Each structure stands twice: as structure tokens, then as C-alpha cells.
């Protein structure tokens, strides 16, 4: 009896729809099956389709090994899977790595080096997709910092679906500000000329020595905190113009009785202002956060977070990012518990905390010589580099 074998052909659109619902880790495995699979699952149409699906949030972690002078970059899902090692930078000191900033699936950080002399400054900027393990080093475009200071910002222009990196340089002698923008779509630097808002002086902009400014990107606008007035300086990536958002009155009143500076965080796509005031947290077992709920009308809403006593004992926790519209990630620089990293998730609806334990597994054991300097959230996406 003759056996007939029929090949079932599935339309490409249906195949892409099925695969777009898989986690990125599974898609990467299917890419390695053959060249046709690689091309199909790497196409712009598939990447765009995959971006419309629900995505899980993970953590990007920078761990410095002080005994070996190495900086390890790690990613950690919040669903209990082991920590993944992304890359290691050699001959790096603890303060060489700036805060990591994340937007739409990509993470940006800078490796900044200083020597004793003025002209020994240099910086390397990296953009990482922790989900695909792809890493891109920007071409160097660093101005002369011997008579200036600068910082690095990460932005995302939603209308163009484009990531951008900004270098803001404060020139001491001329009293001017120079801005360079790097586009991740055409991979090029360009210099722009901008005017400050009326009544604003560049001296109000706070530059930290490690090349990082306190900033949050929301609605295609990069927001920077001004440490003299606590107002917020916005830079619109679409119009390339600056404007001012006045600080909420509660922050101004709080500053009068606190010795701490506020921080900017992103909460459910909104700007948040928080004081990392250890004395206040220990005294009140709580923390105040001001959220800009209505961006157009500049309406701020104050939220009070109460900490359980068990969390206070671990050290003064501070918010690092929001997981989704209802949850905020808190981290405390407490010692390792065995081979486990503990982070705490606050639910804004239930007003309760839960503890999440991150385990590195056998491939990358943690060490007591590790210092966890930077932790931030990112949404897993297949954004190409």
C-alpha cells in the first residue's frame, strides 16, 4: 500500500502570530534552528508584531566585584527564574559606572573614567538589550571636558519609535550649554543649539561628577531635576526645546525640614518625586511620593507608602522603578542572604509589600565581595541593535 505524505503549509501571517506570543527566550532558540527561521523571526514585521504583545518586566543589575575590579551586568526576571549574566567589564572601579536608564526594552549606561589631571577624562556609552543579550557601544563623541562638565541622558521619541542619547556639556568659561544627540536609527551624532526657558539659568542644572543627571523620560520628554528649586527642566525630543515644570508645593515644604535631595522616578508612565530621607523613613515608617498625574494641567498627587517593620530592619529601602501601573520596586542595600538578592514589590492598590528572591543559579554564583550599585526595571522587547 502506497503511503502518501502531505506537507501542511501554514501561512506566514499565522506563523508570525503564533510565535509573537512566545517569550523572547523561546524565540531566540527558534532563531538558531536554521537561516530561514532566523530571517523570519528577525524581520521588522515580526519585531513590530511582537512589540504589541504583553511583555514581562525584568531587572537590570550592575554588580561590582571589588576584589577583582570587574563590573558584572546581570538581568533577573521577577517570576523566579535564575539571574542571567550579560557581560563583564574588566578593570572597573565601583564609581566608574553611571546609573542605568531604561526605555522601551533598551538600557543605557556610561563607563566614566577620571584621573588626577584635568584632561584624563573619557567616557564610553553602552546600549544594551538585556532580552536578546545584544550590546552596542556608541562611537566616541566626547568634547573637551578639561574646562567643562557633562552628563548623559537616555530618551525615546515615541512618534518616531526612536531611542536617543544626549550629552549635555556645561562649558565653564563661556557659561553656555552644549548638547549632542545620538540617534539610534541612523547611528550618528549631531550638535544642536538651544535656548534656555525664560528666567532660567544653566547654573541651576545639577551635574554629578560621574556623568549622570537625575532624569526621567516620559511622553518623549527628558526631565531633569533642578537641585536649587526642585523644579523640573523638560527637554522635548520632538521640538528640541526646553521648558519648566514647577515643583509640587509639598516637595518645597518638605525640603525646608530635610537634609536630603529628592530623586526623580517613573511611576506608571508618570513623573514621580521622592525624598530618600532615611531619618524620616525610620521615624515615620513611611515615605512620601509626589506623582504628576495630570501632565497637561500640572496636577500633582501625594502618595504615602507605609513600610512594614521587617522591611525597615533590612535597611532604609528606596524606590527604584515601577513594574506596571500598580507596582513599585524597592531595594535595600542589605547584605546577601546566602546566595540570594532580595527586592521588594509594593502594590499601590493593596498597599502591601511582597518579597521577591533572585537566585543566580550555578552558572554565576554571587560573592560577598559584590556591591550592587544599580538596579532598574526594563520591559522585555525584541528591539534590534
Is 107 in contact with 100 (CB distance < 8 Å)?
A: yes
What are 36-95's pLDDT values in tens digits? Answer: 888 888 888 888 888 888 888 888 888 778 778 888 888 888 776 778 888 888 877 655
Q: What is the pLDDT of residue 16?
A: 84
Pick the most confident of 116-125, 235-244, 306-315, 341-350. Answer: 235-244
Q: What is the pLDDT of residue 239?
A: 93
pLDDT for residue 199 is more than 80: no
Q: How far does the chain reach from its first CA to its final CA, in angstroms?
A: 54
State the pLDDT confidence band at 145, using cuts at 50, 70 and 90: very low
Torsion of CA 297, 165, 242, 225, to 10 degrees: 70
What are 242-257's pLDDT values in tens digits? Answer: 999 988 887 766 655 6
Q: What is the pLDDT of residue 318?
A: 77
Look at the block and give the residue holding cell 534552528. 33
Of the candidates 82, 85, 235, 89, the residue with the CA atom closest to the CA atom of residue 157: 235
| Domain regions of the chain by residue span | 9-54, 55-378
The arithmetic mean of pLDDT across residues 321-347, rounded, is: 72
The arithmetic mean of pLDDT across residues 208-222, rounded, is: 74
- Give the CA angle between residues 124, 273, 266 to the nearest 5°: 55
Look at the block and give the residue holding cell 543589575. 61
CA–CA separation, 256 vs 279, rounded Å? 14
Output DSSP code: residue 53: S
Is 145 in contact with 152 (CB distance < 8 Å)?
A: no
pLDDT for residue 258 is more than 70: no
State the pLDDT confidence band at 5, using cuts at 50, 70 and 90: very low
Look at the block and give the residue holding cell 557601544. 137
The arithmetic mean of pLDDT across residues 162-189, rounded, is: 80
Q: Which residue has the higher pLDDT, 85 or 212?
A: 85
CA–CA separation, 332 vs 282, rounded Å? 13
CA–CA separation, 69 vs 92, rounded Å? 5
- CATH-assigned architecture of domain 55-378: 6 Propeller (2.120)
Q: Which residue has the higher pLDDT, 214 or 121?
A: 214
The arithmetic mean of pLDDT across residues 99-103, rounded, is: 80
Please state the separation of Cα 219 from the chain's center in Å.
Answer: 15
CA–CA separation, 49 vs 339, rounded Å? 38
The arithmetic mean of pLDDT across residues 165-184, rounded, is: 75
What are 14-26's pLDDT values in tens digits? Answer: 888 888 888 888 8
Q: What is the pLDDT of residue 206?
A: 58
pTM over 0.85: no
What are 28-46's pLDDT values in tens digits? Answer: 888 888 888 888 888 888 8
* Concatenated DSSP letters of 211-233: SB--EEEETTEEEEEBTTT--EE
CA torsion sign, 101 to 377 to 23 to 63? Answer: positive
Q: What is the pLDDT of residue 85?
A: 84
Bridge-partner residues for 93, per DSSP?
none
Pick the most confident of 122-131, 142-151, 255-264. Answer: 122-131
Strand-by-strand arrangement of the 352-358 sheet:
318-322, 327-331, 341-347, 352-358
Is 94 in contact with 64 (CB distance < 8 Å)?
A: yes
DSSP E strand boundaries for 299-385: 299-306, 318-322, 327-331, 341-347, 352-358, 370-379
Mean pLDDT, the chain, as a whole number? Answer: 78
Look at the block and give the residue holding cell 522616578. 265
Q: What is the pLDDT of residue 212?
A: 53
The arithmetic mean of pLDDT across residues 173-195, rounded, is: 81
pLDDT for residue 351 is more than 80: yes
State the pLDDT confidence band at 178, using cuts at 50, 70 and 90: confident
Share of the chain above pLDDT 90, in %: 13
Q: What is the pLDDT of residue 203?
A: 66
CA–CA separation, 284 vs 268, rounded Å? 25
Amino acid at each position: 500500500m502506497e503511503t502518501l505524505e502531505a506537507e501542511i503549509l501554514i501561512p506566514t501571517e499565522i506563523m508570525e502570530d503564533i510565535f509573537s506570543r512566545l517569550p523572547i527566550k523561546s524565540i531566540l532558540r527558534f532563531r538558531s534552528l536554521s537561516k530561514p527561521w532566523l530571517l523570519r523571526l528577525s524581520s521588522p514585521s515580526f519585531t513590530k508584531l511582537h512589540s504589541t504583545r504583553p511583555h514581562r518586566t525584568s531587572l537590570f543589575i550592575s554588580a561590582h566585584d571589588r576584589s577583582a575590579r570587574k563590573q558584572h551586568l546581570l538581568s533577573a526576571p521577577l517570576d523566579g527564574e535564575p539571574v542571567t549574566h550579560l557581560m563583564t567589564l574588566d578593570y572597573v572601579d565601583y564609581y566608574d559606572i553611571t546609573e542605568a536608564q531604561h526605555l522601551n526594552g533598551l538600557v543605557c549606561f556610561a563607563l566614566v573614567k577620571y584621573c588626577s589631571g584635568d584632561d584624563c577624562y573619557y567616557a564610553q556609552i553602552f546600549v544594551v538589550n538585556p532580552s536578546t543579550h545584544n550590546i552596542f557601544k556608541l562611537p566616541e563623541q566626547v568634547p573637551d571636558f578639561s574646562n567643562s562638565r557633562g552628563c548623559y541622558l537616555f530618551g525615546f521619541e515615541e512618534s518616531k519609535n526612536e531611542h536617543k542619547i544626549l550629552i549635555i556639556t556645561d562649558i565653564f568659561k563661556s557659561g553656555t550649554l552644549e548638547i549632542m544627540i545620538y540617534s539610534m536609527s541612523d547611528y550618528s551624532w549631531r550638535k544642536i543649539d538651544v535656548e534656555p526657558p525664560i528666567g532660567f539659568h544653566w547654573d541651576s542644572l545639577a551635574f554629578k561628577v560621574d556623568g549622570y543627571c537625575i532624569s526621567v523620560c516620559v511622553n518623549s520628554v527628558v526631565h531633569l531635576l533642578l537641585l536649587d528649586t526642585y523644579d523640573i527642566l523638560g527637554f522635548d525630543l520632538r521640538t528640541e526645546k526646553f521648558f519648566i515644570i514647577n515643583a509640587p508645593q509639598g516637595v518645597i515644604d518638605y525640603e525646608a525640614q530635610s537634609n536630603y535631595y529628592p530623586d526623580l522616578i517613573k511611576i506608571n508612565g508618570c513623573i514621580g518625586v521622592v525624598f530618600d530621607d532615611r531619618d524620616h523613613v525610620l521615624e515615620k515608617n513611611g515615605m512620601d511620593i509626589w506623582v504628576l498625574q495630570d501632565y497637561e494641567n500640572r496636577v500633582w498627587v501625594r502618595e504615602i507608602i507605609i513600610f512594614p517593620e521587617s522591611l525597615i530592619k533590612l535597611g532604609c529601602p528606596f524606590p527604584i522603578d515601577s513594574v506596571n501601573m500598580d507596582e513599585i520596586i524597592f531595594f535595600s542595600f542589605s547584605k546577601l542572604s546566602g546566595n540570594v538578592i532580595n527586592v521588594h514589590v509594593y502594590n499601590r492598590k493593596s498597599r502591601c509589600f511582597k518579597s521577591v528572591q533572585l537566585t543566580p543559579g550555578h552558572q554565576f554564583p554571587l560573592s560577598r565581595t559584590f556591591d550592587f550599585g544599580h538596579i532598574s526595571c526594563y520591559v522585555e522587547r525584541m528591539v534590534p541593535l
